[in-house]
Amino acid sequence: MDISAFMRAVLDSDQMPVVICDLEHTIVYMNPAAAERYAKRGGYALVGRSLFDCHNADSNEKIEKVMDWFKSDTANNRIFTFHNPKENKDVYMIALRDESGKLIGYYEKHEMRTAENSTPYGVLN
What are the residue ranges spanned by the domains of the chain? 3-114
C-alpha 22: how far from chain center: 12
* Phi, psi of 16, rounded to the nearest 5 degrees: -100, 150
pTM: 0.87
Cα–Cα distance, 34 to 14 (Å, whole number): 10
* Phi, psi of 9, rounded to the nearest 5 degrees: -65, -40
Query: Is the pLDDT score of 38 beyond 90?
Result: yes
- Among 100, 48, 101, which Cα is nearest to 70's? 101
**Percent of the chain with pLDDT strictly greater than 90:** 81
Q: Which residues pair with 82 in a beta bridge?
A: 91
Tell me if the domain spanning 3-114 has CATH number 3.30.70.920: no
